[in-house]
């Protein structure tokens, strides 16, 4: 049992490092991996969040793809490095849209307050987070524009 846990921990640390880069402290990576939940979705169309869910954390996609479903056929694709639900988590707002997997396998880390506190001052995470928030903002703007037509 310990060998499996060690392998999963090392895989999680390596996956985080692949997304965040080599500049992040190994000790922080290990702490984040230990304080977060590695979640593997093994089918398409599995739900990460539903509209109306209260945020308790966010998913950090390590491998695979998901999408934000806004209705009327509009969707926004999310892939490796995406922080699914980060905006709602930071604002402590209910989710406005559904988020579902679109690949047959999605590997993610569910990061709650403990994991976020470790990452919030890491420069590569800050850059990734800003990029994700801007991408999601522009996607939501498209939804709003689409509904006004």
Tens digit of pLDDT for each residue in 71-103?
777 888 999 999 999 999 999 999 988 999 999
This prediction has a pTM of: 0.85
Least confident of 24-28, 61-65, 139-143: 139-143
Residue whose pair of structure tokens reads 């590569």 in the numeric block: 124
pLDDT attached to residue 21: 86
What is the CB neighbour count within 10 angstroms for residue 99?
25
d(CA 74, CA 66): 14
The DSSP result for 1-57, as a single string, is -HHHHHHHHHHHHHHHHHHH-TTS-HHHHHHHHHHSEEEEE-STT-EEE-TTPPPS-
d(CA 141, CA 107): 28
Distance between alpha carbon 21 and the CA centroid of its chain, in Å? 16
User: Mapping DSSP to helix (H, G, I), strand (E, B) and coil, where does residue 130 land?
Assistant: helix
Task: Write down the CATH number for the domain with range 2-148.
Answer: 2.60.120.10
For the chain, give every domain's residue range: 2-148
Residue 64 pLDDT level (bands cut at 50, 70, 90): very high
Contact of 84 with 66, CB cutoff 8 Å:
yes
Given a cut of 80, whether residue 7 has pLDDT beyond it is: no
**What is the greatest pairwise CA distance in the chain?**
57
Calculated CA dihedral for residues 5, 128, 87, 118, nearest 10 degrees: 50
Tens digit of pLDDT for each residue in 107-148?
999 999 999 999 999 999 999 999 988 887 877 777 666 555
């Amino acid at each position: 049992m310990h060998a499996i846990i060690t392998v999963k921990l090392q895989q999680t640390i390596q996956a985080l490092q692949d997304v965040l880069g080599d500049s992040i402290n190994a000790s922080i990576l290990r702490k984040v991996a230990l304080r977060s939940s590695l979640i593997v979705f093994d089918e398409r169309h599995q739900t990460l969040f539903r509209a109306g869910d209260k945020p308790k954390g966010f998913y950090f996609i390590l491998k695979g793809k998901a999408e934000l479903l806004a209705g009327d056929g509009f969707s926004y694709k999310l892939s490796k490095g995406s922080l699914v639900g980060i905006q709602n988590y930071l604002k402590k707002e209910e989710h406005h849209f559904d988020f579902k997997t679109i690949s047959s396998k999605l590997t993610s880390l569910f990061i709650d307050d403990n994991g976020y506190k470790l990452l919030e001052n890491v420069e590569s995470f800050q850059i990734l987070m800003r990029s994700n928030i801007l991408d999601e903002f522009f996607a939501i703007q498209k939804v709003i524009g689409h509904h006004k037509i």
